[in-house]
Amino acid sequence: MKEILKKIKFNSVGVQVAIITGIFAIIVASIYVVNSRTTIYKQNNTLSDKVTKQNDEILKLEKEILKKNDEIQRLETLLTPFRTIALEKYTGTEEEALQKLKDHINALEKKTIMIENKMLPRTISSLQIQSIGNQLKPIKNIKVKFVIMSSDSEIEDLKNQFKQIFAIAEWEVIKVEYAMAIPFKGLTIFTSDRPANDAVKTLYLALKTIGIEPEVTQDESLTKGLISIKIGSK
């Protein structure tokens, strides 16, 4: 009987161990399942975020493509009359005809600018007057005389702007002569020196920088340190 009880007790312990082992295995398996589910959930979230971002990017690209297509269509509409003119006016392929039309328009634009520049009055702004005067100021003992055409407000304005420059530079304006009989054009600086002295070189370069390019000519009748500025019509 004792032997039987021992066996039963032993078997009971073995069963308990087996149960505990099984429970432990179930717990471990459950933890693994939970961890796996968590990992899969995180991966799914990551993939979902990537898919969402990719979809957003695709939508963005589609919108940009639609916008560019609309712009292309608009340009095509604008190009149509030019294409028609080019094909009617010039020979060759459509591309060659359009290029010839473009070259013709560019040439017309340059001519228009030249005409506008001729029509616009020559003028020196207040800032330019100050800048040129400061550039000339280091050059000392310079005297200036003007020879100008009369009855022209544009010439008078330009002369007065030069006088402001020379006042800043501390150059002395000694004379203003008016040419009554013979009309002349352009702006000329006369100097007795050849090559031109520093005063004339500096004045010439400063004027050229602001779009006024005078001629420079030697006049041996001028005394040293004296320059003559002749202002004719534009």
Look at the domain 126-231 and name its fold.
Alpha-Beta Plaits (3.30.70)
Sign for the CA dihedral angle at 94, 99, 105, 108 comes to: negative
Q: Where are the domains of the chain?
A: 63-119, 126-231
133, 170 Cβ separation under 8 angstroms: no
pLDDT at 5: 45
Joined together, the tokens standing for residue 138 give 């280091």
- Give kind and range of the element (H or E) at residue 141: none
Identity of the residue numbered 226: L
pLDDT (tens digit per residue) in 171-230 = 999 999 988 777 788 899 999 887 778 999 999 999 999 989 999 999 989 988 899 999
Full-model pTM = 0.53
pLDDT at 153 over 70: yes
Percentage of the chain surpassing pLDDT 90? 32
Question: What is the average pLDDT value for the chain, to the nearest integer?
Answer: 81
